[in-house]
Amino acid sequence: MGILTVENIKVNYGEKEVLKEINLNIEKGKIVSIIGPNGCGKTTLLRVMSRNLKPKAGRVLLNGQDIYKLKAKTLAKNMAILSQNNGCPEDICIRDLVSYGRHAHKKFFSGFTDEDERIIEWAIRRTGLNNMKDRKVATLSGGESQRAWIAMSIAQKPKVLLLDEPTTYLDISHQLEILDLVKGLNEEEKITIIMVLHDINEAAKYSHELIVIKNGELYCKGTPCNIINDEMLKQVFRVEADINEDKNTKKPVIYPRRVFSLAK
């Protein structure tokens, strides 16, 4: 059994079936990206994994324990999620935002311990924000803001970090900056990372495994080299592409040629 297991998950929005019998096993210490066309259920699946959405059927296990039977603080000590849209008071500074990540470890009405302070400072340094920790979050650029929220998430000291499209709205340099940070957190801090990404090439480059969702169903799961092929690109993304190998990462890189219809 992996660190996170999804068993027979079904989700409905009204009469619409959004996720259909999803079964997954996420291995400890991996970066796993969920990919698929718009509206296929990627974010819904991530919300179920994080207990932010209760499924119609099925369960999610964290280290063998049903996440819906865990206390909120216990779950927060083991899992952190960063959504697409995050809000906080306009006058809050980076350091105060990051300190929120320690709330799961505090007793009621207790202040921060020396250990809490050490971890807050570590999270700020680890995300490259030490020289701006007193700045207001509202004044930050997109990339800086995303790093601040990631710093808050890792201040929880989670074993699993879930990220919903962490590079959305960022320019290419900030996209790479965030994904390099994610890769470093995985390699150096041994955090298992599950993220939703739109860019297939980014997902292939930075992930150990990919989960491909199509129409609410698990289409396939495996290493980028094993599952990125002509048939998957046609059936899932309706794209014909050239697939080459990156000489440095040995991962596949796609160059789309045309979109086509699967209708006969």
pLDDT at 1: 66
Burial class (CB in 10 A: 0-12, 13-18, 19+), 114: exposed
pLDDT at res. 88: 73
Report the pLDDT value the prediction gives residue 233, as an integer from 0 to 100. 96
Closest of 191, 204, 125, 129 to residue 163, by C-alpha: 191
pLDDT value for 111: 77
The per-residue pLDDT string of the chain (264 residues; one tens digit each, 9 = 90 and over) reads 689 999 999 999 988 999 999 999 999 999 999 999 999 999 999 999 999 999 999 999 999 999 999 999 999 999 999 988 777 777 899 999 999 999 888 776 677 889 999 999 999 999 999 999 999 998 999 899 999 999 999 999 999 999 999 998 899 999 999 999 999 999 999 999 999 999 999 999 999 999 999 999 999 999 999 999 999 999 999 999 999 999 999 999 999 999 977 654
- What is the pLDDT, as a whole number, of residue 222? 97
pTM of the model: 0.93
CATH architecture of 4-84+158-259: 3-Layer(aba) Sandwich (3.40)
The residue ranges of every structural domain in the chain are 4-84+158-259
Q: Which of 239, 198, 174 is nearest to 39 (CA)?
A: 198
How far out from the chain centre does Cα 259 lie?
A: 28
Are 11 and 44 contacting, i.e. CB atoms less than 8 angstroms apart?
yes
Q: Assign 3-class secondary structure to the chain.
A: CCCEEEEEEEEEECCEEEEEEEEEEECCCCEEEEECCCCCCHHHHHHHHCCCCCCCEEEEEECCEEHHHCCHHHHHHHEEEECCCCCCCCCCEHHHHHHHHHHHHCCCCCCCCHHHHHHHHHHHHHCCCHHHCCCEHHHCCHHHHHHHHHHHHHHCCCCEEEEECCCCCCCHHHHHHHHHHHHHHHHHHCCEEEEECCCHHHHHHHCCEEEEEECCEEEEEECHHHHCCHHHHHHHHCEEEEEEECCCCCCEEEEEEEECCCCC
